[in-house]
Chains A and B, each alone.
Chain A
Amino acid sequence: MAETKELVLLNCWASPYGMRCRIALAEKRVEYEHKDENLMEKSPLLLQSNPVHKKIPVLVHGGKPVCESLVIVQYVDEAWPDRAPLLPADAYGRAQARFWADFVDKKIFECGTKLWMLKKEAQGAAKKEFTEGLKLLEGELGEKKYFGGDTFGFVDVALVPLMAWFRTFESFGSFIAETEAPKLVAWGKRCMERESVAMSLPDPGKVYEFVCFMRKMLGLG
């Protein structure tokens, strides 16, 4: 078990990747300091802690940084193994969990970014990839309470920030979540009943406003 050393999360409130880290830390009931970064003016601490990518989130534990959200979530799981395990105990289960979390990274969040960052004409392929991704996730979830089965786990943590971003993706991707992915919408509501999720996800309306602002800054109108 990790000693109680100084724990700081460098984050940006709207980042789905940062939300994952907050949820994992909350599940483990670990106290930490939350530092919101201004991505237009990155702090020396951020640049020093993530010299390779210069991105958030970064978890700084006892002065030592851990970067990349899924790496951070696994680190949190391994550093506090005595409570709320996020990955299953068996190797095959863990491989499956990592597979779907990786899928979420590529097909939901990376793809979702294209939905609002690209001009309307260029969005076609991204929209198709995104909605297909949702369908595959619906299939994987099936009738389970969570992706982790009865327990909230790694894939749930990886995907649930979508609940803060769904409205934004729907708007720019021109689809309705309830129609495309009803099971995921229901799953999202179940997850929001967890304190760790409710306290870590910002209001979807605020995220949407933020993205509209970003689009103006990028000249996307």
Chain B
Amino acid sequence: MAEEVKVFRSWGSPFSYRVELALRLKGVAYEYIEEDLSNKSTLLLEYNPVHKKVPVLLHHGKPIAESLLILEYIEETWQENPILPKDPRERAVARFWCRFLDDKVSEMFALWMSCWTEGETQQNFMEQAKECLHLLEEELKGKKFFGGDSIGMVDIAASSIAHWLGVLEEVAGISLLDEEKYPNLCKWTEEFLKSDAVMECLPKRANLLALFQTRKQAISSVK
């Protein structure tokens, strides 16, 4: 019986992507509703009145917001291909790294801001971003994925590094994910992108490039 699973998403958003990837890894059929973030639908605003953002997961008519929380809900609701370990301590470690990858005011923020800024501001952000990548590189040591042998919640949370980061680097004309400095992360990206579930709903690189180039131009023209 088809359960009613819907995802309010925006095609270019790495946060919506996390949700779609998790559902696909678990073989859950879903319908997606594409949102224009400059003109949000009444339904989205009704289902996420607090933050008014994508992604939102709708299951049996009930909404869940915030990508990492949605991943926890998906894990608890559909038991195939677990994305969190069973041991409480290992779960705590996974949750810690998911939060690290999500922090709006932290090293991860610096990663994105490196691409949208210039001059000294950019240099400062790049230094912080490299620290962030270094910490992730260390965490990956000896592992194929953050989750161990298979893709787990931390890998899903880190998808933006595997795909979005390369596009942003190109648009900004900078290099952050250096293979010499971060061999584990680069290898991880390769392995991650081998997964069928990962590739099925990944936004096309060319489209992301166009999207970010437009944004970069818009920011530059405001100066």
Known: A91-B73, A98-B72. A75 touches B91 (CB 8 A): yes
Inside 8 A of A52's CB, which chain B residues have their CB?
96, 100, 135
Segment of A62-70, A176-184, A197-205 in the binding face: A62-70
B72 in contact with A71 (CB, 8 Å): no
B88 near A: Cβ within 8 Å? yes
Task: Give 1 or 0 for each of B76-100: 1 = CB within 8 Å of chain A CB.
Answer: 1100000000001101110110011
Partner of B92, one of A75, A99, A102, A136: A75
List of 3 A-B pairs having minimum Cβ-Cβ separation, nearest first: A78-B88, A91-B76, A75-B92
16 further contact pairs, Cβ within 8 A, besides A52-B100, A52-B135, A95-B70: A2-B88, A52-B96, A64-B89, A66-B89, A66-B92, A68-B95, A68-B96, A74-B92, A79-B89, A91-B76, A92-B62, A92-B73, A98-B69, A98-B72, A99-B64, A99-B69
If over half of B's interface residues share one DSSP class (helix, strand or loop), that class is named, otherwise mixed; here it is helix
A67 in contact with B96 (CB, 8 Å): yes
Chain B interface residue count: which class?
Answer: 20 to 34
Inside 8 A of B91's CB, which chain A residues have their CB?
74-75, 78
A102 in contact with B76 (CB, 8 Å): no
How many residues of A are in contact with the other chain, CB < 8 A?
A: 24
Instruction: Report which B residues bind A (CB closer than 8 A).
Output: 50, 59, 62, 64-66, 69-70, 72-73, 76-77, 88-89, 91-93, 95-96, 99-100, 105, 135
A94 near B: Cβ within 8 Å? yes
> Bound state CA distance, A135 and B70, in angstroms?
25
A103 near B: Cβ within 8 Å? yes
> Bound state CA distance, A99 and B71, in angstroms?
12
A14 near B: Cβ within 8 Å? no
> Bound state CA distance, A110 and B103, in angstroms?
12
Inside 8 A of A191's CB, which chain B residues have their CB?
none
> Bound state CA distance, A205 and B85, in angstroms?
43
> Shortest CB–CB separation between residue A97 and chain B, in angstroms?
10
The contact sample of 6 A-B pairs, CB cut-off 8 A, is: A52-B135, A78-B88, A91-B77, A94-B76, A98-B72, A102-B69
> Bound state CA distance, A2 and B91, in angstroms?
14
Inside 8 A of A110's CB, which chain B residues have their CB?
105
Inside 8 A of A74's CB, which chain B residues have their CB?
91-92, 95
B92 in contact with A71 (CB, 8 Å): yes
> Shortest CB–CB separation between residue B58 and chain A, in angstroms?
11
> Bound state CA distance, A78 and B65, in angstroms?
23
Inside 8 A of A78's CB, which chain B residues have their CB?
88, 91
A136 in contact with B89 (CB, 8 Å): no
Task: Give 1 or 0 for each of A71-84: 1 = CB within 8 Å of chain B CB.
Answer: 11011001100000
Known: A66-B89, A94-B72, A94-B73. A99 touches B65 (CB 8 A): yes
